[in-house]
Structure 1
Amino acid sequence: MTYIAHGAGGGPEVMTVASGPVPTPAADEVLIKVEATGVNRPDVAQRSGSYPPPPGASPILGLECAGEVVALGGSVTGFKVGDKVCALTNGGAYAEYCTAPQSQTLPWPKGYDAIRAAAVPETYFTVWANLFGTPHAAGASLKPGETVLIHGGSSGIGLTAIQLAKAFGCQVLTTVGSEEKCEAVRKFGADHAINYRSHDFFEEVKRVTDGKLVDVVLDMVGGPYFNRNLRCLKLDGRLSIIAFLSGPMVPEADLRPIMVKRLNVTGSTMRPRTTAQKAEIADALRAKVWPLLEQGKAGPHIHATFPLAEAVRAHELMESSQHIGKIVLTV
């Protein structure tokens, strides 16, 4: 099969088209003939050498795909050859064929094609676990009627979080880096969009909430936002950290708000979670989110698609942060 290799790591230019054997599904896995695969920040981190795959995972890039089941592991019962599926993979999706545990595999939402289906798993698994999941599973347990601040609102994760929070009856504030992106996120349901380049987001949060602040902050920026995130939270608020695109270090953290306001600070990554933990998320998505996708109340926004062989261009766009929504590779 054809796949994208990234050698020892580096910039986007290290990725090349390569050829290798088609993977064999394990007992609990399906083999998918890939039609499309989503591009995500963890792919960029793995390619650069800062996010190596866990033991036993495919070294090939790619954490989500959509396509057709062409082979089944010996213990697979939930799918059959010919099924159209999308999956949260354990790596290997930048390829013509990819394996995935059956418990992390879901049918295409009704009305979806491969491109839209491939843009769902990584962001929806991540947002559900970190925004709506329970604290014991490192989630923020966002509830209807609460107010949430979502950083990086124009990213794939951000747009997913905005739509789901609104669908479940929450007030949504979000930060983005331009007036164009402010306009875009409002169209996807954000009640208030804050341009962080021209406004201090804490002051804006305080203003638009009349000083009541927010129940939950979903953060992918990291260290530079930590203190202001704590200040944005009301009593019993929750901060969920899912990435640190601007760095992991907080040189002078003020921990007093955590104690005074009884804050819960949590964080997680998706890839190291166990198959059983990911299966719980998949079950919740199928029951609670798939109906929203099929009714058009939520769904991925595709910013751009590229052929698999042009993965370099896709990563360059991802790293430019000029996109709004998802970038997808077609196979």
Structure 2
Amino acid sequence: MRAVVEQQHGSPEVLEVTEIPDPRCGPEDVVIRVAAAGLNRADAVQRKGHYPPPPGAPSTYGLEVSGTVLEVGDQAARTTSFAPGQDVVALLAGGGYAERVAVHHAQVLPAPEGVGLADAAALPEVAATVWANLFMVAGLDPEGPRRDGEAVLVHGGTGGIGAHALQLCRALGYRVFTTVGTAEKARWVEDLARRQDERIAASGGRAPGALTVIDYREQDFPEVVREETGGEGVRAILDVVGGKYLGPNVEALGTEGRLAIIAVQGGHTGELDISRLMAKRAAVAGTTLRSRSAEEKGEILAGMARTVWPLVADGVVDPLVDRTFPLDEVRAAHEYFDSGEHRGKVLLTL
């Protein structure tokens, strides 16, 4: 089968499509014919040599796919309802940039209704990341805010994770603050919210949470949060920046707030006034998704599907596919991803 396997590190030019053997179906596995694979920042960081696959994971790139079931292992067939011909999505530790992938059944979900099969590849990694961090780590309630005005801060509102997080939180009634780096990106997020408001009104869902877009080049985000929440701060922060934002993030947190750091685009180290953290009875957590066990990923996916899939089916949460590229154009896909011009998800189609 055709696949993009890690061979050397560097610019997108190092990526090439090669022929490798088809994956074998283990007793607890599901083999999927891949329709599309999502690009994620982890893929770009791996390509540059800074994010090796966890032990036992394929050296093929790709952390999420959509496709059709080809084969179900004996044990998986006894404990799940997956069957050949079924449309599914999967969360992977690697292997997605390929025509076929074998993955533990716990990491597979039926494809959500309401979107095309290829577009569904935009969801597993971002939805699982947002769910694991905002709802399992930071403790947001999937039923909605526990009190009026409960707020969330999402950094990077035009990225795949950020755009999904702000849609999901608004759909559940949370007030959302999000940071962007240009006026054009701010307009894009505001337009996304307007379109979501229209879909929510059409579906008869609960009133969406308010949205404040912060241009971090022009505004101090802790100050904006403080002013607009009457000094209360936010209940949770989803952060992709890391070190540079550590202190400001703690300033933006409210009492018993939770900061979940999932990437270090702004550096690996930062300064923290521990007394401020203690005074707020707040907490800082750093997490990753890729290296978790199949069972842990299965728990995340199950909770996520209960809340997110119905919102996708209603059109309230959009997968937000920006551009698609054929697998043979994987270099061009990574070049576009690296440019930072994408708004939402970039996919490879097979």
**Fold match (TM-score > 0.5):** yes
Superimposed CA distance per residue, residues 204-233 of structure 1 (whole angstroms, 9 cap, x where no aligned partner): 222222322211111000111100000011
- Structure 1 residue 299: deviation in Å? 2.4
Superimposed CA distance per residue, residues 10-46 of structure 1 (whole angstroms, 9 cap, x where no aligned partner): 2111001111100112111111111100000111111
Matched, 1:194 2:214: yes
Q: Aligned with 1:163: secondary structure?
A: helix
- Structure 2 partner of 1:221: 241
- Structure 1 partner of 2:153: 149
- Structure 1 residue 56: deviation in Å? 0.8
In structure 2, stretches of 5+ residues that fail to align are 194-209
- Structure 1 residue 164: deviation in Å? 1.1
Is the Cα–Cα contact under 8 Å of residues 233 and 255 in structure 2 kept in the other structure? Answer: no
- Structure 1 partner of 2:274: 255
Which residue, out of 210, 222, 225, partners 1:205? Answer: 225
Is the Cα–Cα contact under 8 Å of residues 66 and 87 in structure 1 kept in the other structure? Answer: yes
Matched, 1:109 2:129: no
Is the Cα–Cα contact under 8 Å of residues 32 and 100 in structure 2 kept in the other structure? Answer: yes
Q: Aligned with 1:113: secondary structure?
A: coil
Q: Distance in 1 between matches of 2:129 and 2:186?
A: 23
Identity in percent: 44
Q: Distance in 1 between matches of 2:305 and 2:5?
A: 33
Q: Distance in 1 between matches of 2:211 and 2:235?
A: 15
Is the Cα–Cα contact under 8 Å of residues 306 and 328 in structure 1 kept in the other structure? Answer: yes
Is the Cα–Cα contact under 8 Å of residues 130 and 267 in structure 1 kept in the other structure? Answer: no
CA root-mean-square deviation: 1.3
- Structure 1 partner of 2:202: none
Matched, 1:45 2:45: yes
Which residue, out of 88, 93, 97, partners 2:91? Answer: 88
Query: Which contiguous aligned blocks of 4+ residues in structure 1 show a shift greater than 4 angstroms?
Result: none
- Structure 2 partner of 1:64: 64
- Structure 1 partner of 2:197: none
Is the Cα–Cα contact under 8 Å of residues 30 and 102 in structure 2 kept in the other structure? Answer: yes
Is the Cα–Cα contact under 8 Å of residues 33 and 68 in structure 2 kept in the other structure? Answer: yes
- Structure 2 partner of 1:165: 169
Superimposed CA distance per residue, residues 171-220 of structure 1 (whole angstroms, 9 cap, x where no aligned partner): 00000111121122223336100011111212222222232221111100
Q: Distance in 2 between matches of 1:247 and 1:316?
A: 22
- Structure 2 partner of 1:127: 130
Is the Cα–Cα contact under 8 Å of residues 38 and 121 in structure 2 kept in the other structure? Answer: yes
Which residue, out of 246, 250, 255, partners 1:235? Answer: 255
Is the Cα–Cα contact under 8 Å of residues 91 and 107 in structure 2 kept in the other structure? Answer: yes
Q: Distance in 1 between matches of 2:341 and 2:220?
A: 21
Q: Distance in 1 between matches of 2:6 and 2:58?
A: 13
Q: Aligned with 1:188: secondary structure?
A: helix
- Structure 2 partner of 1:244: 264
Q: Distance in 1 between matches of 2:302 and 2:82?
A: 15
Q: Which residue identity lines up with residue 123 of structure 2 in the other structure?
A: V
Q: Distance in 2 between matches of 1:266 and 1:82?
A: 40
Q: How many equivalent pairs are there?
A: 325
Which residue, out of 294, 310, 325, partners 1:306? Answer: 325
Moved more, 107-116 or 298-307: 107-116
Moved more, 290-299 or 209-218: 209-218
Q: Which residue identity lines up with residue 24 of structure 1 in the other structure?
A: R
- Structure 1 residue 5: deviation in Å? 2.7
- Structure 1 residue 286: deviation in Å? 2.2
Q: Structure 1-normalised TM-score?
A: 0.95
Superimposed CA distance per residue, residues 234-259 of structure 1 (whole angstroms, 9 cap, x where no aligned partner): 11111111111121111x33222111
- Structure 2 partner of 1:136: none
- Structure 1 residue 296: deviation in Å? 0.8
Q: Distance in 1 between matches of 2:188 and 2:227?
A: 22
